[in-house]
Structure formats: structure tokens, C-alpha cells
Chain A
Amino acid sequence: MSEKTVLELKGITKRFPGVLANDHIDLTLKQGEVHALLGENGAGKSTLMNILYGLYQPTEGEIYVNGQQVAINSPGDSIAAGIGMVHQHFMLIPVFTVAENVMLGEEEVSPGGFLKRREAAQRISELSTRFGLEVDPNALVGDLPVGIQQRVEIIKLLYRDANILIFDEPTAVLTPQEADSLFEIMQLLIDQGKSIIFITHKLREVLDYADRITVLRRGKVVGATTPAEADPSKLAEMMVGRAVDLDVERDPPQVGAKVLEVKDLLVTDEQGQIAVDNITFDLHAGEILGIAGIQGNGQTELVEAITGMTKVDAGKITLLGEAIQNKPPRTITELGSAHIPEDRQRDGVVKDFPIVDNLALQSYYMEPFSNGVVMREDVMRENAIKLVEQFDVRTPSIETSVGSLSGGNQQKVIVAREFSRDIKFLVAAQPTRGIDVGSIEYIHSQIVAKRDDGVAVLLVSTELDEVMQLSDRIAVMFDGRIVANVDARKVTKEQVGLLMAGSSATEVLGEEG
């Protein structure tokens, strides 16, 4: 890191009708540094980055690039100033090749009007080698894994000679290995003189990879620190504005009767590949079984099979004494199960519906929400008012559409709906993915509370910390199998990590595995 300042924001203020999204924000970015921008949803990070990217114009304030004041009125101005952004949701066209995607908007043509594909492909290969990106310019983007698609986004910026790179929650969509190689790439970018603004929720990443940290809360800079001076609980406290208990307090489990029994379960995915390969396990009332594993090792299909959302090819699933394999989701729900789905926006909520409707989504058709024909709006509203209060959903009103809530509050709507029913079994898949620290703390405490009430909890998470914190037993999934199923108190985080990466149980756990 040099002392040269490449980007300076002075007093950036952005006012929307009724909202002060950014309030006199000052930020400097030095050449060759990774500057982490940390904050809860709604803290103003996205607004600030959209100002830098030219999508919004600040109400007040100045932007300097390399000491020169610049006016950024469009993404074009932003690119011209050497600023580039890797969006959380990629801006790629799947049916185009890597080269075509990179050229898009910067197409160079030969005199005959043909695209200079070969030249572009060659430049992409050069950039790819120089920054260790390993991307084939002629591959179709749609065929590439998410981690490589993200590299295409990075190449797009490098192709346009960006020196200031903004990464907006880049690891949210990546597997841990992909995330690791992203950080290696970021290091190479830094080594070659680029500077990076890194937006994330994940405290661990900030502490491991950032040079400096700026924390935003409610549109204001509330603090700046460095990884050397900070620790997770201090950062969380700065983000939330109060002390946050990252460790979940819990008593030993009061294990009761068997609730779920999965026997020799076999599930194939949409391509006909075996996703869940002969899995057998039990789950009892009052305990949390954490399924650890890297994304894509069959957890999604396991959860879908148990909740009735995908077909079981062989094996048995018994819930509370009833065989539920290949039963419709409603039958399983009515037995007393609840499901926090992995992809909350796709499956868990109807974004265009108000909170009041979303809170009734699982039981709208029966008493007390419906008399068998007509929906009882007054009952639904009472229910919504009660749950919004009880589960601390931050919303202007119960009529607000769920799509306009932050991720954390959307998840609280789902948790409120699922937990408020009389349940005996809970499947929580990635219950805290992509949500802010305050909401994570709350949702964790709610899951533990359910377990203490005697609910059998199946927790599926790719976040190793989460599995370690909450589980009474841990089962590790690798390549569609459960490679270990152990008492959570008897394993270390490192051991579980090794199992997730594919090491054999006998190697890692010794005799007892």
C-alpha cells in the first residue's frame, strides 16, 4: 500500500424523499489497498457505491480521483474515471462468449464492420494470465460456474482499464474454495497497483483481507479501524450500534423422542445425477442437527426431498411416524413441520404481496385465516400486527410489500411465519445467508429457543461458524453422502472443515470415526 490517495469522497450526502441515505460521508482509498466498507442492510453502502458508479448523483459533496475533482453523472463517467464495479448480481449475457461479454459496450470493429473478436480474445487472455484469472475467452458464459463468471466481471473492468475496483458482496454467491481463490486474485490485483473497495457483511473476511475498515450505520460513517485493532465483536457492535452477542448461549439439549428418520435416501438432481447418495440419519426432539458441507454437495436436494419439493428415487423418510417420501409439501407441513428455505426470495416469500399475506402463506386456507372459502382479513391483519411486533420486523406497515424490505427483515417475516405455527420439526436451510449481524443474532436465538421448546431442528448451512455455534450434533455432507455424524462437542472447527473438504472420517477423527 502506498500513501498515494486514488479516490477521495468528501462530505457525500444523498437525500431521497424522506430518507437521508448518505450523511456527509468521507472516505479515502489509497493506492494498493483493500478498503472494506462494512454496514448492515440499509446503512447506505449501496447508495454510496451507486453514486460512485454514476447511477445516483449526490445531493452534496465532492468526489476526487487522483486528486482531480470529477463529476460522475453516468456509469460511462465512472468508467472513464477508472472506477469499475463487480456487482453482486452479475451483468452477463449467458448465451454470449466470455470475449463477447467483455467487449459489450466497447466493441471494436474492423473496417468491414466485423467485431475484432480475435484481438479482444487475445487481450482477455493476456489479462487473464497477468492476474491469474484462468478464463477461456471463447467459453460460453452460461456454461461457466459462478466463481468463473465473477472473474469475467473482473476482466470486464480490467479491459476498461479500471484502477479502482468495487466488489459488492463478492463472496455471497461463492463456495468457500471459490472465495479463497477470489482473495488470491484480489491480492494479485493489489500487487499490480489496483485499489479495491470491498463491501461485505462477513466480519471474518474483513478481518482477514482488508487493509482498512470503514463502518457505516444509518448513512453515516461511525468509525474507521484496521484489522489489527478490531475483532469480530467490536465490528459487530460498530455496525449495529450496541453490543452483539456473537456466541449463542445455550443449555445442553433435552433430547426427546425420534422425530425424523431418514433411511437409505437416494435423490437425483434435474440432470439425473445422484445428488443424495444413500443417506441415513435420525433426528430427535429438542436437538439441533447441523448439516455442514460446501454448497453443492447434496444439501439442497436433501432438504427438498424432506420437505416434499423434489422426488425421492429410493429410501424412506419418516416424520413423526408417517412415511413422507414423495408426499406433497402441504401434507408434510400439516404434520407439524416448518421450513426456512435456502433461497428465500425465490421460495420463501411473494415479494409483491404485502407482509400480511406473506405471513399467512402456509396456512391461509384453513382456520383461523379462512373459513374454508373466504379469507378473514381481520384475523390476518391481527396476526401480522402481532408477529411483526413479536419478531421485530422493521417495516413501515404490515401492508408494505415484502420485496421492499431488507434481506434481514424478509428473513424475519419467514421466521415469524414458520415459528408461529405449532411445529414439531424445523428445517432451516441457510437461515442467515446474506443478512445483517443484528438479524443473524436474533434468528439464531429463535432457533435455539425452538429447540429448547422440544422442536427437532435440522440446520443446513455452508457457514461453518454457524453450524459450530448452533448444532448439538454435526453431520458433514460431501459428494452426496454423510461422511461423519458426530457429537458437536467432540469435534473442532478444523476437523469439520477438513471433512467438508473431502478428507475421510477415519483420517480426521481417528478410531471413533
Chain B
Amino acid sequence: MSEENDEQQKPPEQDSTSVLIEELNKTMDGGTWSASLRSALFPILAVFTGLVIGGIFIAATTEEVYAAFRESIGAGLVEAWRTVMVSYRALFVGAIGNPAEIAAALGSGDRELMREAFDPFLESLVTSTPLIFAGLGVALGFRTGLFNIGAEGQLFIGAVTATWVGYTFTNLPAIIHIPLALFAGFIGGGIWGYIPGWLKARTGGHEVINTIMMNFVAFRLVEWLLRTVMQDPGSVNPISPIVAESAKLPVLGGSRFHLGFIVALLVAWATWWYLFRTKWGFTLRTVGANPNAARYAGMNIVRATVMAMFLSGGLAGLAGANEILGLNHRLVPAFSSGYGFDSIALALLGKNHPVGVVLAAILFGTLRNGATQMQVDAGIPIDIISIVQALVLAFIAAPAIVRTIYRLRDTGDDGQLVTSSWG
């Protein structure tokens, strides 16, 4: 067992999670265009298949479809098809916008009309934004061989620190206050990631267990803070004061689309740059890919582990800060609807690459947002989208299924993906 201050800390034994992480990190780093295309084909097929099977669920849970089937099989099939189409149409309109409206708005050239036509899509991006931040955090952890399940807790703590900075300072200009509040969120989440990172590096305590435990601590801590030191003096509810105007992220026109999305894209770029261009990123990726070789090459595994967990938590903390400063403007108990947990899934979907994470986050955000419209228009429960998300992830985790459906050849490292038609 390793001791305190043991300079020659042994790298952790390979366990099943690290094997999984290794497998996932292999892809997406090819560099060439054809390689990127090939690695993109797979998630696309997974999403498509998820939607197809989701459609079956929609049909199978709709009363009218059963009624039609009782008349005749033909009528049943027609009704099933109609139901699925209505649902997915509503999903599309809710997530992207109404094509007719968009065309009309573009034709009129009126800015306000255009903004309204694109509003559903902007709303999807708003939902995607915390997912991007937290997904980047989880992906950075994975790249270092660390399974950060604690994004949700880190997100909560990031929200706490950002909120505090947001309402405590009242006479700062926005240009200082916003970055300061975001930075506070980063540090808050970072500390929450640092603790399990330190425990892992120094005592070998597994980060999966410790980050899960830290989640519970974070949730209860937020509840306690909202009942005590952070409670809005003018309210009996467990809510914090509203942040200063100067700390609120600016929004576009009359929409809810705020600066956070742009910040998220910048942070995604910075994460990519850090991981793939700097010497520190090289260290983290080496520690993740082969801790023994990292030790042999003189890398400090303790430092890399702690650093990666700090950064990972910090990115998740930014997600919390983003939600407070961009949308809620105050800390409330249930401000996050599980973004931290979804981010684990979408980091996997995005193959732990910042570009993949951004795309996966936009996909998840779009599905989530569209699902609301689907519920209104077609009476389909929002949960169906959870099923689609789960299916997509299952297909990513079990590539053989998709490979079998689409007759893709398993080519290993090099070679061409050959596809034939379905069925």
C-alpha cells in the first residue's frame, strides 16, 4: 500500500473502468479527415437507430394505435406510422423550429421574426450549454483515466460559489463581474473535484466511489446553505438572493439564449488546446493511456491525477455557474435536472474529444428541448427521450449491435468501413 509522501507512487492497477476508458480514448484521435468521418459515422448511426426504436416505443405506448390495430392490421400500421410522424415532427419543431416559419422569417428579412422562428433552436442551445461544460469536464477526466461521476455535485458547488460572487459584489462592471463569477464557479467545482482526486492520488481511494459520495455531500450542503447563510433575507423559501445585474450573462433579444453558449464553445476550444497541444495535456493523456509508461517517463502521476480532477470539477462547476448567471439568476434547490449525470453519457458519446462532446451535448440538448414540444403536441411523455438517449448510449457501448444492423465490417485500426443497405 502506498504511504504518505511516497514519491514513487505506483500507478493504479488496471481495472475494468480503465480498460473501458482506454477503448474509448482510442478513437477520434486519428487526425485525418477520413478517420474523423469514419468515427462520426458510428454515433450518427447509433442516434438514428435510437430514434427508430424510440418510434416503436411511441407507437407501442399510444392508445389510438391499439384501437386501430383492433380494426385491422393495415389501419394499425397506418396509425402507428402517423403517431410516430406526428411525434417526431413535434420533436423537430420543438427542437429546431417550424420550417415554414423559418422560411417566412428569412423571406421577410425582419430580425425579430427571424429570432422568433429560430427560438426553439436557440432554446435547444440553452439546454445544451451546461451539458457542454460538464461533458468537457467528464471527458477530461476520462482522458486521464479517471471516472468522474461527481460532475453533478461539482456543478452544484460551482453554482454556489458563482451565486455568492454574483450577489455579494454589487458595484463591479459586468466586464469584470461576469468573468469573476464564472471563475468562482470554476474554482468551486474544481475544489469539489480536487478532493476525490487528492484522495485517489494519496490513498488510492477509488474516484468513482468518492465522487458519488461527494455528490451527496454537495446536494445536502446546498440545501443547508439555502436555509442558512445563503438564504434570501426577504424570502421564507430556500432560495438565495438574486445576483447583481452586472453578473447576469447578457441575452439575445427577447430570447433566453445567453452568452453562456459562446463561452462554452470557447472553453471547448481551450480544453482541446490544453489536452492536445500543451505539454500538460500530453502528460494527462499519457497518464490516462498508460500510467506505467507515464511513471517511466518521469511524469508525476500524483500531480496529474489531482490536476485532472481539479480541472474536471472546474469545468463541471462552470456548468453550474452558467445555469445561475444565465438562467436562474439565483440559487434554488433543484436548478439542475441531472446535467452532471447526462454529461457522463455524452462524454462517452463524444468519444472524450471536445468536438465530439460539443456535438453530443447539442444533440442531447436538442432532444430534451424538443421533447417538451412533443409532449404538448402529441401527448408523448418526455421520458421517451430518456429511452432514446439510453438506446443511443447502449449502441455506443455495444458497437457490435450497430455493426450487425448496418453490416459494417469490424476493421480494427486501419482499413475502410464498408456499408451495405439495411435489410
Contact = CB atoms under 8 A, between A and B. Distances in A.
A210 interface: no
A375 B296 contact: no
A66 B290 CA distance: 47
A20 interface: no
A309 interface: yes
Given A328-B298, A348-B296, A18 B415 contact: yes
B295 interface: yes
Interface stretch (B44-52, B61-69, B274-282): B274-282
A357 B297 CA distance: 12
B232 interface: no
B6 interface: yes
B31 A399 contact: yes
A326 B415 CA distance: 47
Nearest to A369: B279
B25, B282, B283, B296 pick with most chain A CB within 10 angstroms? B296
A361 B415 contact: no
A109 interface: no
A350 B296 CA distance: 11
B286 A350 contact: yes
A18 B414 CA distance: 11
A352 B31 CA distance: 14
Nearest to B8: A311
Interface stretch (A21-29, A57-65, A231-239, A339-347): A339-347
Interface of B: 6-8, 22, 25-26, 30-32, 277-279, 282-283, 285-286, 289-290, 292-300, 411, 413-416
B296 A347 contact: yes
A346 B416 CA distance: 30
A374 B278 contact: yes
Contact of B282 (A339, A343, A357, A396): A357
B262 to A, nearest CB: 24
Contacts of B286: 350, 353, 361
Given A17-B415, A328-B7, A333-B298, A348 B293 contact: yes
A343 B293 CA distance: 10
7 contacts: A309-B295, A330-B298, A347-B296, A352-B25, A352-B289, A364-B282, A373-B278
Interface string A149-181: 000000000000000000000000000000000
B6 A311 contact: yes
Contacts of A341: 296
B149 to A, nearest CB: 23
A364 to B, nearest CB: 5
Given A353-B286, A404-B413, A361 B293 contact: yes
Contacts of A132: none
Given A333-B298, A347-B293, A352-B289, A374 B277 contact: yes
B416 A17 contact: yes
A52 B294 CA distance: 39
Contact of B296 (A329, A352, A373, A401): A329
**Which residue among B30, B282, B285, B295 has the maximum number of chain A CB atoms within 10 Å of its CB?**
B282
**How big is chain A's contact interface, by range?**
35 or more
A326 B279 contact: no
Interface string A479-497: 0000000000000000000
Contacts of A361: 286, 293, 297
Contacts of B279: 364-365, 370, 372-375
A365 B299 CA distance: 10
B290 A350 contact: yes
A245 to B, nearest CB: 31
B413 A401 contact: yes
Contacts of A17: 411, 415-416
A402 B300 CA distance: 23
Contact of A309 (B8, B30, B290): B8
Contacts of A462: none
Given A17-B415, A328-B7, A362-B298, A350 B293 contact: yes
Contacts of B415: 17-18
A111 B295 CA distance: 54
Nearest to A329: B298
Given A329-B297, A375-B282, A351 B7 contact: no
A326 B296 contact: no
A308 interface: yes
A310 interface: yes
B412 to A, nearest CB: 8
Q: Which 3 A-B pairs have the closest CB atoms?
A: A330-B298, A329-B298, A347-B296
Contact of B290 (A329, A351, A399): A351
A88 B283 CA distance: 32
A343 B296 CA distance: 11
Nearest to A377: B277
A71 B8 CA distance: 54
Contacts of A328: 7-8, 298, 300
Nearest to A351: B290
Interface string A318-330: 0000000010111
Nearest to B293: A350
Interface in A58-115: none
Given A350-B289, A352-B25, A374-B277, A339 B416 contact: no
A308 B8 CA distance: 8
A329 B295 contact: yes
Interface string A355-399: 001000110110000101111000000000000000000001001
A349 interface: yes
A311 B300 CA distance: 15
Contacts of B416: 17
A141 B186 CA distance: 49
B225 to A, nearest CB: 38
A343 B295 CA distance: 13
B419 to A, nearest CB: 15
A163 B25 CA distance: 43
B292 A346 contact: yes
Contact of A362 (B31, B297, B411, B414): B297
Given A326-B7, A352-B22, A374-B278, A309 B296 contact: yes
Contacts of B32: 399
Given A17-B416, A309-B296, A353-B285, 18 more contacts: A308-B8, A326-B8, A328-B300, A329-B295, A329-B297, A329-B298, A346-B292, A350-B290, A351-B290, A352-B25, A364-B282, A364-B297, A372-B279, A373-B279, A374-B278, A374-B279, A375-B277, A399-B31
A353 B8 contact: no
A460 B279 CA distance: 32
A414 to B, nearest CB: 10
B22 A349 contact: no
A345 B7 CA distance: 23
Contacts of B277: 374-375
Contacts of A399: 30-32
B10 to A, nearest CB: 8
Contacts of B298: 308, 328-331, 333, 362
Contacts of A309: 8, 295-296
A347 B296 CA distance: 6
Contacts of B413: 401, 404
Nearest to B3: A311
Nearest to B273: A374
Contacts of A18: 415
